[in-house]
């Protein structure tokens, strides 16, 4: 099938082209993100392939539909950037990669937590300046601490398991569907409030939905155990950035590690080192010594990129051959 691949980076092209040997799609790579302004590039392509920060809203979908596109293939798990109701109304199917390598994200989450807690990034910056002083680098053992995991699906369950069995943490969890395997290893499910009040660390692994939007807001910061550390490798808008900044300023929040950021679409995946960043909230975040930010890279492993490429191209092949779309998402399945 002819596929317009948007928001392409060199690594996307490398892994998609390698996997396409088994599929034979005609892939055209565009560096531009898909939005209403760039949708014209997809004119005549029955399928588009997009990533997390492409804006697949109603105006974009209307332009795609007018240009003959019938399939949006997300090369990611999250689909909060797609207007599923509009897609369905316009007869455009949406497919995604529900699971590629939960290990990639889970391992990165643990890495971020350790780097934050043990000041690894700050220590490396010092050592590069031949500053071997240790003042200000005191961390805490993870062993014995209380970690709250919000969302115990594929990624959250791996994180919970690793923290519980590997590090010996007390693990609290919150999910609309508790996982019996986690219960069996001593993970305790509690409500969101109890998790915030009782945890030393909270790590977020639920999808971004109306219910989880700004899950960490001013009230949550107020309710949290003083000194709470937060790790977010899920979606930026789970956290109200301004509330987080206030929590950091008042020291109510003891540290934050973010791989995702509410307004990341304006920043991430690009080299902006010669630009003036206009996002004052983001710049303020970077000034705190106890904040660590990475640019949405938790998924970025050889294994995950291989798996993403194969599943995405397989999803497109299913659509082309009119086979059932096992990885389809629709407004009906999501919203009931």
For binding to ligand NAI (CB under 6 A), which residues are involved? 77-78, 99, 102, 105, 150-156, 174-177, 205-207, 209, 211-212, 233-235, 259-260, 296, 298-299
What's the CA gap between 301 and 250, in Å, rounded? 37
The residues facing 293 across adjacent strands are 258
Compute the least distance from the CB of residue 100 to ligand NAI, in Å.
8
Residue 28 Cβ vs ligand NAI, minimum distance, rounded to whole Å: 25
187/194 Cα distance (integer angstroms): 14
- b/e sequence 137-157, b meaning 16+ C-beta within 10 Å: eeeeebeebbbbbbbbbbbbb
Q: How far is the CB of 152 from ligand NAI (least distance, A)?
A: 5
CB of 299 to ligand NAI, least distance (A): 4
Give the shortest CB-112-to-ligand NAI separation in angstroms.
10
Listed in sequence order, the DSSP H helices in the chain are: 10-19, 58-66, 84-89, 102-117, 120-128, 154-161, 180-184, 192-198, 218-223, 241-249, 280-286, 302-320, 331-335
Residue placing its CB nearer to ligand NAI in the complex, 8 or 212: 212
Catalytic residue among 164, 235, 262, 310: 235
Nearest 5°: phi and psi at 74? -80, 130
Residue 102 or 247 with smaller CB distance to ligand NAI: 102
Residues in Cβ contact with 150 at an 8 Å cutoff, skipping those fewer than 6 apart: 156, 173, 174, 175, 192, 195, 202, 203, 204, 205, 206, 215
Tell me, rounded to whole angstroms, the distance of Cα 215 from its chain centroid: 15
Spot the catalytic one: 25, 75, 174, 296: 296
Active site residue 264: yes
C-beta closer to ligand NAI: residue 248 or 257? 257
Residues in the chain: 336
Taking the complex as a whole, the smallest distance from the CB of residue 26 to ligand NAI amounts, in Å, to 28
Q: Which residues contact 305 (CB under 8 A, 6 or more apart)?
A: 11, 12, 15, 299
Asked whether the beta carbons of 144 and 168 are under 8 A apart, the reply is yes
Catalytic annotation, pick one of 25, 174, 264, 310: 264
- Comparing CB distances to ligand NAI, the nearer of 42 and 157 is 157
111 or 153, CB closer to ligand NAI?
Answer: 153
For residue 86, what are the contacts with CB-CB under 8 A and spacing of at least 6?
A: 57, 58, 61, 62
Residue 63 or 205: the one with the smaller Cβ distance to ligand NAI is 205
SS (HEC) of 215-246: CECHHHHHHCCCCEEEEECCCHHHECHHHHHH
- List, edge to edge, every strand of the sheet that includes 26-29: 26-29, 2-5, 47-50, 71-74, 93-95
Q: How far is the CB of 203 from ligand NAI (least distance, A)?
A: 11
322 belongs to the catalytic site: no
Which residue lies nearer to ligand NAI by CB, 129 or 211?
211
Residues carrying an active site annotation: 235, 264, 296
């Amino acid at each position: 099938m002819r596929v317009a691949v948007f928001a392409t980076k060199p690594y996307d092209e490398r892994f998609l082209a390698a996997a396409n040997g088994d599929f034979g799609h005609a892939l055209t790579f565009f560096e531009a993100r898909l939005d209403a302004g760039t949708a014209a590039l997809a004119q005549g392509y029955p399928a588009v392939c997009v990533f997390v920060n492409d804006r697949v809203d109603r105006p974009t979908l209307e332009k795609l539909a007018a240009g003959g596109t019938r399939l949006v293939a997300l090369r990611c798990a999250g689909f909060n950037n797609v207007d599923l109701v509009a897609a369905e109304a316009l007869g455009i199917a949406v497919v995604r990669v529900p699971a590629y390598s939960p290990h990639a994200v889970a391992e990165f989450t643990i890495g971020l937590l350790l780097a934050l807690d043990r000041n690894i990034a700050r220590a490396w910056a010092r050592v590069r300046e031949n500053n071997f002083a240790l003042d200000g680098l005191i961390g805490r053992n993870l062993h014995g601490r209380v970690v709250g995991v919000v969302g115990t699906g594929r990624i959250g369950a791996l994180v919970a398991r690793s923290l519980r069995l590997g590090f010996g943490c007390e693990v609290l969890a919150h999910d609309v569907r508790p996982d019996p395997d986690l219960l069996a290893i001593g993970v305790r499910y509690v409500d969101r409030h109890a998790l915030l009040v009782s945890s030393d660390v909270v790590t977020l692994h639920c999808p971004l939905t109306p219910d989880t939007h700004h899950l960490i807001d001013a009230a949550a910061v107020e309710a949290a155990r003083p000194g709470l550390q937060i790790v977010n490798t899920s979606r930026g808008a789970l956290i109200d950035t301004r509330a987080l900044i206030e929590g950091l300023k008042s020291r109510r929040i003891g540290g934050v590690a973010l791989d995702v950021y509410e307004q990341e679409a304006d920043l991430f995946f690009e080299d902006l080192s010669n630009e003036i960043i206009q996002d004052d909230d983001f710049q303020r975040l970077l000034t705190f010594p106890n904040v660590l930010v990475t640019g949405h890279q938790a998924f970025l492993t050889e294994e995950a990129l291989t798996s993403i490429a194969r599943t995405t191209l397989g999803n497109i092949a299913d659509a082309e051959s009119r086979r059932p779309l096992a990885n389809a998402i629709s407004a009906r399945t999501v919203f009931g």
